[in-house]
Amino acid sequence: MTVLRWFASQWLVSVALLLYLWAALVAPDKALQALHTGGSLLLSVSLLILAVMGLVGLVQVWISR
């Protein structure tokens, strides 16, 4: 039940997973290519988000003093 509740609360992730599963059934080679491209994009964006969040944290500490 908790898994279904999580999928309901994270509906965007659920839709993306369902679309990847559908693509894997229809065209497995293109689904693998899309998964690889999406994964590399996620890694590059996550590094940028980590850097921005670090800078925001440093600025918050600097301003509070």
**How far from each other are the two terminal CA atoms of the chain, in whole angstroms?**
46
Residue 27, SS3? coil
| Residue 3 pLDDT | 83
pLDDT (tens digit, 9 = 90+) per residue, 2-34?
888 988 899 999 999 999 999 999 999 999 999
- pLDDT-derived band of residue 65, with 50, 70 and 90 as boundaries? low
Q: How far apart, in Å, are the Cα atoms of 15 and each of 8, 18, 30?
A: 10, 5, 18
pTM confidence score:
0.61
pLDDT (tens digit, 9 = 90+) per residue, 36-53?
999 999 999 999 999 999
Distance (Å, rounded) from C-alpha 34 to C-alpha 11?
20
